[in-house]
Each structure stands twice: as C-alpha cells, then as structure tokens.
Structure 1
C-alpha cells in the first residue's frame, strides 16, 4: 500500500512538472506573438493545444488526488485493524504471563505438598511398625494364654474338689480380663490410627491431585483444545472417551472390579442399556458416566474474531448442553437398576467449556440436577472417583475390623464355654465324689459291711491268694463262728 502511495506522489510531481513546462511554453508563445503578428495564427494554435494539454493534465491530477484520498482512507482502516490486533496480542501476552506465574506457583505448591506427603508417609510407617509390635505382643499373649489354659486344665484335673470350686472362677477371670481389655484397646487404637491416616492421606492426595491437574490443564488445553474441537464429531467423542479412561485409570479404581467401560445388558423388559462407563460402589450400588457432549460451538465461540458471532456460538453451546442433559434424563440411566444412584454424571472433558456455559447460563447446573444429571469436568470427576475409591478402602477396612472383632468375640465365647465346661466338670466331680463316698460307706462302713463279710468268709476257710488291704469297720454283730470254735463246742 505504501508503494502505491509513493507511485501516486511521483505521478503528481510529474504532473506539476508538465504544468510548469506548459506555462513556459505559454510564455514562449506570448513572446513570439509580441515579436511578430505574422506568427499569431501558429501561436494561437499552439496556445490552444497547450491549454487542452493542461486541462487533460489537471483532470489526471484530480483523478490522482481522488485515488490518493481513497488510499489514505484504506490506510486509516488498516491502522485501526492493526491497533485492534495489537491490543489483542497484548492481552494474550498478559494472559500468557499470568498462566506462567500460576504454573510456577502450582509447581512450588506441589513440591511443598510432596515434602509433606513424604513426612506423613514416614509417620505412617512408624505407626505401622508400632501396630506390628502390638500385634506381635498380642500374639505372644495369646500363645502365653493358650499355655496357661493348658496348664490350668491340667492343674484343675489334679487339684481337689474344694480347691477347684474356690479358685477356678477367679483364676480364669483374671486371665481373660487382660486379654479382653488388650483386644479392645488394640481395636480402638487401630481404628483411630487408620482413620487419622486415611483422612491425612486423602487430604494430601486431593491437594496433590488438584495442583497436578491444574498444571497439566494449563499445557494440555493449549495443545489439545483446538486439535480436538476442529475435528469431526466422532473424533471429539473418541478424544473425550480417552480423557475419561485416563481419569479412571489415575483414580485408583480397577477396571472390571470397580468400573466397566461400554458394557451392555438387557433388563427384565428387554430394553438394551449401553452406558459409556458404569462405576461400581459398595453395597452393590452403581453410578453411570456419559461422555458424548458436543463442543463444536464452544470452539467457534473461542476462535471467532466477531463478538456477535462468538456470542451466538456460545448460546448454541449452552443449548447443545441443555439438549444433551434432557436426552440423558429421558434415557433414565439412574432408574435402570434398583441399585442405581439417583443421578447420572455428564462428563465435559474441557474445564473452559463448562465454565463458559455456566457463565452464560448460571441455572444450567440446577437444570441438570432437576433431571437427575450431574455436570462434571476432569477436576470434579477425579475428586468424585477418588471419593469412591476411598469409600471402597473404608469398606475393606471395616470388613477387616469386623472380622477381627468377630474372631475376638468367637475366641472369648470359646473361653467362656471352656469355663462353663470346667464348671460342669467340677459339678460332675462333685457328684462322682459323693457317689464314691456312698459306695465306700456301703463297702467299708457300718455293721455288716461288705468287706467285713468277705473277710469273714476268708476266715471261715475260703481259699484266697490275696488279701484286701482296705480299712473297714470290724463290728462283731452278725459274725459267723470260727470253724475251730464250732468243733470244740460240739
């Protein structure tokens, strides 16, 4: 444009030179006319020709002036556009500097939290070592108690009836009470430490995850945003599913165990269900995630230089999200199973697409919740999935704690049953002792006891190779006469 203007200025200069030459020619004609009337006709003709040429040059100069004014007008418009682009470039540079500072701060915070996490892990390792020592102590105590139980059983069978009845209850109670107290204390301390470690670890993991996602988001959105949004709708869906799968892998959940991708089944009515992702939760609960939202209009709103066109594209973007919310609500994913949660998660893979839609329509989130749909982005979905993973971990620890408590209770019940059995043994021994005493009384006590009668048979001449050495009453009542005495009497 500047070269054209310079060319026009050169043409104007030539025109001015030609006008000057024309004036000189006119002066020459006048001079010649003064010199002689004989050349008047020729001079008049030359003068007329010079005037015509001057008029033509003037018209050409006017045309050049018009062209110059138009060129200046276009140059002014170009200057305005250049100033507008310069302001936009300044804004982008300022935004880039802000993002760079935010990334630097996020990296510093991530490093600090990594240090805190290392310290927390060290404390957790010490707590685990202490818990292991306590468990070993408990095992040694159990072994010691087992030996004491065996010793006590052996001693109980050897001691007398009176000593057993007096001491066995107190002795067993003294042994069982410390064991029960230590088991209860160990369970309480273990649950408290697990709770503290879980809360601290969850807090640190969430902070690290948030900062990590913020730093990745700054670089990832700059590279992938235009690449993903300028493609076809099918490519957009594949990109959104890829982002969703990566978030699922980084959440700590296990594929096939805690979630299924693109699984399909038919319900009792024969209706086919094929959600993008089904997340499994404790107590057989399930949660559905959908990732098929369109982002074409969001790309237009971001890249358009026309404010009116950008605003119209943003409105279409909000309308597309509302339409997809209505479609998800009508599908009834949250009602496909009795164990489904009462909402389905709609995944928007770009944070900016959600924030711009929410800025344009603040009622969008409430509109979605009314239809059983929850709007999520990579940040909020990761927090949700990490919460589900934490719930699974708590469920496993609760199951282990319940199993420990069940086994401790069963052991206590076994010991209590052993005590009851020992009491029954004592009662049986009492009954056996009483029966033994009564039998011995009949055998050795009183007049005409069995031993005395048998001894009298031996004294009367019954042949026997052994002699009973048991004490008995030797009453004379009812004794038979000795054979020698009977012969002498006769």
Structure 2
C-alpha cells in the first residue's frame, strides 16, 4: 500500500517537475528575450534621432512585453495554485494512507486505481491547460521576437547608413584637419620668423621702413623727386629716415619708430599687474621717442623745414593701443611739434603733400603760360597783318593778270585779224612756218 502511494506521489511529482522544467525553459527564453529587448531598446534610445519612426513599434513591443509579464505572473499564480494542489494531494495522501490501513488490500487497490485515474485526469487537464497557455504565449513571444528582429534589422541598416555617411564625413574632416595642420604649421613658421625679426631693433627698423616705402610708392612719389632717404642734415649730424619736399622749397622730415617690445610682452602677460607694467613701459618708451625727435634738429628753419616732424608707427594695432592707453599722448606730441602717424594716417598726410606740390607747381607755371600766351597772341596778330597784306597784293596781281588776258589780248588780236582779212582778199600765200598763231601771241 505504501508502495502504491509512493508511486502515485512519484508520478504526480514527476509531472509537476516536467511542467516546472518546461516553465523554466520558457522562463529562460523570456529572460533572454527581455535581455534582447533591453539591448534593442538601448540601441533605439541611442539612435532615437535617426529611428524616431520606430518609436510606435517599440511602444507596441513594450506593451506586448508587459502582457507577457502579466502572463508570467498568471503562470506563477498557476504554479502557486498547483503547489497548493500538491500540498492538498499530500494531505489527502496522508489521510488516504490512514484509511488504507483500515481497509482490505483489494479495496485499497481498487480505490488506488480510481484515485490514480482521477489524479491522472486532473494532471492531464492541468498539463493540457498549461501546455495550451504556453503555446499561446510561445506564439506571442515568437511574434514579438520576429517584430524585434525586424526592428533590429532596420536599426542595423540605419547604423550601416550612418556609419557610411560618418565614414565619408570623417574622411572630409580628416582632410580638413590635415590642411588646417599644414596651414597652422606654416603660420607658426611665419610667426616665429616674424617674432625673430621683431626681436632685433635693426630688423624692426628695416621692416618699418619697408612699410613706409610701400605707402610712398602707393601714393606715387618718386625718390629724388618727391623725397630723399636717410640724408644727413647740412647743419647738424641728424639723419632723418625720410625727407619730403614741399612747395616753396620747404621740407618735412620723418622718422620710423616701432615700440613693439613692451606691446608683445603686454599681450603675453598672464596677470593684470604685468599687463599694467608693460603698458606703462610702452607709453614711456613712446614719449621718449617723441622727445628724441625734438632734439635732432629735424625742425630747423635754416634747412627750410616746416615746424613739424612726422613720427611713423608702422602698425595700426600698436598705434591704436597707444592712443587708447593714453588719450593725451597725441596732444602732447603736437605740442612738441611731432605728428604721430599710423599707416592709414601717413597715407593721408603724404597724399595731401603730393596734391599741394602739384597745385603749387601748377600755380608757379601758370604765369609763364600766360606770358607765352601773350607772346603767341602778339605774333599771331603780326602774322595776320602780313597775311592780309599778302592777300591784298595777290588781289592786285590778279586784277593785273585779268587785265592782261582780257583788254590787252583783245587789242592785240584786232590788228592780227585785219592782217588775216587782207591776206585772204589779196590771195597771198604765207608759209605755214611763219603763220601767225593767236595762241603764240598770247
């Protein structure tokens, strides 16, 4: 009797274990599907700007997964209910075991067979119901897997497209970066050369003079005609960089000054204290340069110079910085008869000087032109008088000529005609060689 009970329990437990194993496998499949769905969701989130049109499908998948979760909860509830049934079966078995002890072996066998049949029917019913539910769930999961697969394929396609476009863009960006590196390298070399050049005061002076000469050529001035370069003054040892000729034999001298050292230090300074110190040094050096120009006899009436001298700063940024840092420095320079010029303002000053020279030259030659015009007018009037007299004489000669070919000719022809008439009347033959010709007489 105990053997039958154990067999019955074994069958029930085996069926339950088989059902649990099947449920576990499906649970693993569900877990794997959930992991894949989570991965797909992560990819979709990462590329949501490119696959926004798939949001609706993903939401549907999430709803289906929620439904699956609900089904799983129901399955767990069924498992729990089945466990309760097993416990109830065990309790019934215990009671049946006590009952079987009091019954005969035949009755127990019969009842056991009926009980086994009843248990088998109940187990088959539960198994069929669970199998049907699992098959339905499997179909739903397969549909979800297929939908997720399509979504993953679409996402993969989009990723490949984005990767292709990104590759092309990356190639373009790499090319641009390479060109930028080349330009940066060239700019760095140029900057280093310029920095080395500006580090030497001699090189700075040559560079400033080159800037001045470019502006002078742009104006159209010619060396030796409109200006001279670095000529020592007759009355002193001073030698301005440029001397420009002005009307009435006047001159104006110009020196090139480039106070760039402290300006560069100012730009590279890291603290406000250092910037202030370098700015003050720059202004101080500029004022010293202005003072130096006033002590070199660049303004000297004996040399026919005007009352001002030009100080050329060949950089607009430095010139602007000086004026912004000290708005009174321009007035102080003018008080000392020094004109501060940047490249733009020097162009304007030299243009005015050249125009003044041209106007003066035109005014100076105007009187000479008027004298020449007066002399030309006198000679022209004399020419007209002579021409008139010659015309009158030609008219008189023409009258005499007309008189000769008319009146005189007619008077000469009359005797000839009479002679010819007499010859014809007398029938006198005349040699052809001595025949009178009217045209010959004319």
TM-score (norm 1): 0.37
Larger of the two Rg values belongs to structure: 2
